[in-house]
Amino acid sequence: MYSVENYSITRFNVQFKEIRNFLQKNADTGFHEHFHWGRLDWMMAHLYLNVERLPENALFKDKGGNLVGMVMYDTDFEDRWYVLQSISDECFLRQMIGYVINKETDTAVIKANLSDIAFCNLLVKEGFEKRYSGSKLCQKAMSKKGDCAFGPDLLYASWYDKVFWNWYVGQK
C-alpha cells in the first residue's frame, strides 16, 4: 500500500508545487494529457473551484515519500475525478480507484484515456461502465456503498468515438 496525503484547504502551497512538478514530468507519457500542469493552474485559479473539497484530492506516495500518483477532482463538475499515476502496479491502481469510490455516495466518475489499456481494463473489473462525457449518465440504484454490479435496469445513452472517456459506477 502507498501512503495517502490529502491536499490542504489552501489553493497554492507546497503540495501544489509538488503536484505541478509531477505533472510536468509525467503528463505527456501518453495517458494523462487530459490533466496536465496547465489544467492544474487553471483549476486552482478558477472562481468556481470548490475550495472546501480540496482536501478530498489525494497524493499517493511510495515508501521513500516520492509522489507516484494522485486523485484529483477538478472544479466540481460531473467528470470530476482524475486518476493520475507514474506507475501501473495493479494493487496501486486498485487503491486509487477505491479512494474515488469511497469518496462518492451515488456515482463515482473517473476520466480515463483509452490508451491506458491496463487501467481501463481494471476499471471494467471494478464495475465501471465506459461512457462519453457528453452523454447521459448511466444509472443504477445502489443498495449500499460500493455496490458496483450492473443489471438490466441500467440506463445509458449512445456512444461516441473519442479518446478520453468517463467511467461511471453507481447512480447520480
- Identity of residue 41: D
Domain of residue 146, CATH code: 3.40.630.30
Quick: pLDDT tens for 51-85. Answer: 888 999 999 999 999 999 999 987 665 557 888 88
pLDDT given at position 145: 46
Distances (CA, A) of 9 to 13, 30, 132: 9, 31, 31
> What residues form DSSP beta bridges with 55?
none
Tell me: pLDDT of 10 over 50: yes
CA of 142: how far to CAs of 93, 98, 132, in Å? 23, 16, 22
38-49 average pLDDT score: 86
- Domain region containing 104: 3-170
C-alpha cell at 75: 472544479
pLDDT at 27 over 60: yes
Residue 15 pLDDT grade (very low, low, confident, very high; cuts 50, 70, 90): very high
Burial of 37 per CB tally in 10 Å (0-12, 13-18, 19+): middle
Structural domains in the chain (count):
1
Q: Which residues of 82-112 are buried (b: 16+ CB within 10 A; e: fewer)?
A: bbbbbeeeeebbebbbebbbebbeebbbbbb
114-162 pLDDT tens trace: 778 888 889 888 888 887 654 333 344 444 444 444 444 433 332 223 3
The tally of CA atoms less than 13 A away on the side-chain side of residue 154 is: 16
